[in-house]
Structure 1
């Protein structure tokens, strides 16, 4: 009895009893809701940062029209490509590769193909892609954190069994109509007796992503980063955490170089490239030309003071000494 009570106290993080609800015949999937919520947050915060850095209002939404679909397709393609045996191997069903609502989005593919979509959108608006990427980087990593909640509802992406106080309870789920096992779409049959208590690696990644967001916002303000360095710092921070979290996961994954999870290798490689970019790119934060920053001829809000300050500096360099300095040289007083 005491052992059972101890186990109950330790495993105090319950999983949701289901990840799908029905509005009549329409399934409402928690995973999809989390992805949508993450996209909304990324666009909203990205727009605020973009305008504050001197970009024209409305650009982030326009670019997202291209970047989001490309990113979703790229994320799914990466997942299917690195886990192809699930869909095209023995006993697999190729049709399931299209069922994005059941989970399975690879961040590497989402970023890569999403960047292509963002480039198209930025090109149409005359915005440099690095400038755009720096503005939206914190929102992207927060969106990833929100997306991890979808894995929580799906009871996926967890680690090995554990007795830690934050161990996650995993329940058996079945189809209520047939009684058949249904881990994704089913309902838990006995939440009092979990079938496993595991490391909540999805939660570790969620927390890490939020910390990365805080760090890159601080670094951006402290060092006035530009030319894609904020985005590269986000990539470096995310991959650093993902490398170690990936080592803890026990879900099936493609293995390379013997018995190493492929995402461990990709994380290490991308981390090195991102750090190299941050170290080598030393340009000051870019300022958009007036015709790009204000395509309608209307000045932006006063938050974009950095742009005005940079413009004054350039003017002073081009036209000679400052007004005050010139007045002093002429024996007059500074007005």
Structure 2
């Protein structure tokens, strides 16, 4: 007797999230914000481990990140608003929407650029080598981007061209761009970039472990690795953006930064081989060593100190008097002492 086993239909695509906002006690908890916060946390965690492993002080790095993270968030939003100004300014637009960061719209270029500016200011104040901080944080930045890209998934944004591949991403009709209403599944460019960034994390860590990258080379390697992938992934996207000479603006940005980062890597390798020593001085949470004292200064310091408050012992006149020097008598004459 044979039995019938009903076939289970497995959808050949990645489903969209059922929701991206949850309300807790009347407050909206947005998946996009949670992904950004998770990225910041894991990125800092990885960077902190690398910084401490090189001899740096964890509290010193925390103080630097206190500057870098707010700068990065503000810069990410500024870059997005400036490069997509038509979404917020002009007829029928609402400029106040430029402040609604929870709706999405953070540019990684602005995040890294402004974040680096904030870190540089903090490093100048603390007298810590900025490029050493950048090297320690480089793979952590890429790891933070992995988590951040899943915020795009929950917002159903920044996807690629239509596709019938099994890994195609289902997009709800209200989120499909004009001209694509009849297509249901699209390239999950958020996932492509997340996987690529995981590769960048591994690349920077492995190369750094092998060659001890310093003076910014780990950071330059991260930029080169990320932009190489971003250029082709960006070309797959169909969201409305500005173009320049037939290419999306972000493609041009990726190409230019790739060239600059490779050049910076080569120049740094030639001029500053090896790594900075951050196990001493301010980077390690220790004061800057002072100059060695001269021999005369050291002699003065080592001389016994006399307390002015101590009483001078009493000395009797008899004890304090000294014998007059005796002078040899010649020709029967004496002298009581040397003559003036």
Normalization by structure 2: what TM-score?
0.77
Which of 192, 198, 219 lines up with 1:231 in the alignment?
219
Checking the alignment, whether the CA contact within 8 Å between 2:224 and 2:258 is kept in structure 1 is: yes
Checking the alignment, whether the CA contact within 8 Å between 2:220 and 2:262 is kept in structure 1 is: yes
Q: Give CA-to-partner distance per residue, 1:18-58, whole Å, 9 cap, x none.
A: 11110132000000000001001111111111011121122
Stretches of 4+ moved more than 3 A in 1?
293-297
Partner of 2:12: 10
Deviation (angstroms), 1:10: 2.5
Partner of 1:101: 102
Which of 229, 247, 250 lines up with 1:241 in the alignment?
229
Q: Distance in 2 between matches of 1:295 and 1:37?
A: 28
Checking the alignment, whether the CA contact within 8 Å between 2:161 and 2:187 is kept in structure 1 is: yes
Normalization by structure 1: what TM-score?
0.78
Partner of 1:320: none
Check 1:266–1:290 CA distance in 2 against 1; reply closer, same or farther (3 A cut). Answer: same
Partner of 2:258: 271
Which of 190, 194, 209 lines up with 1:206 in the alignment?
194
Partner of 1:114: 115
Q: Distance in 1 between matches of 2:250 and 2:47?
A: 27
Runs of at least 5 residues in structure 1 that lack an aligned partner in the other structure: 174-182, 185-193, 298-335
Checking the alignment, whether the CA contact within 8 Å between 1:47 and 1:58 is kept in structure 2 is: no
Give the RMSD, CA atoms, in angstroms: 2.1
Deviation (angstroms), 1:145: 0.7
Q: Distance in 2 between matches of 1:290 and 1:59?
A: 12
Checking the alignment, whether the CA contact within 8 Å between 2:56 and 2:279 is kept in structure 1 is: no
Q: Give CA-to-partner distance per residue, 1:265-303, whole Å, 9 cap, x none.
A: 000000000001111212211113623244357xxxxxx
Paired residue secondary structure (1:248): coil
Q: Distance in 1 between matches of 2:109 and 2:134?
A: 15
Partner of 2:72: 71
Partner of 1:323: none
Deviation (angstroms), 1:255: 1.1
How many residues of Structure 1 are paired with residues of Structure 2 in the alignment? Answer: 273
Deviates more, 1:217-226 or 1:280-289: 280-289
Q: How does 1:94-243 map to 2 (within 5 A)?
A: 94-172=95-173, 196-243=184-231
Checking the alignment, whether the CA contact within 8 Å between 2:54 and 2:279 is kept in structure 1 is: no
Paired residue secondary structure (1:28): strand
1:290 aligns with 2:280: yes
Q: Distance in 2 between matches of 1:120 and 1:90?
A: 39
Paired residue secondary structure (2:161): coil
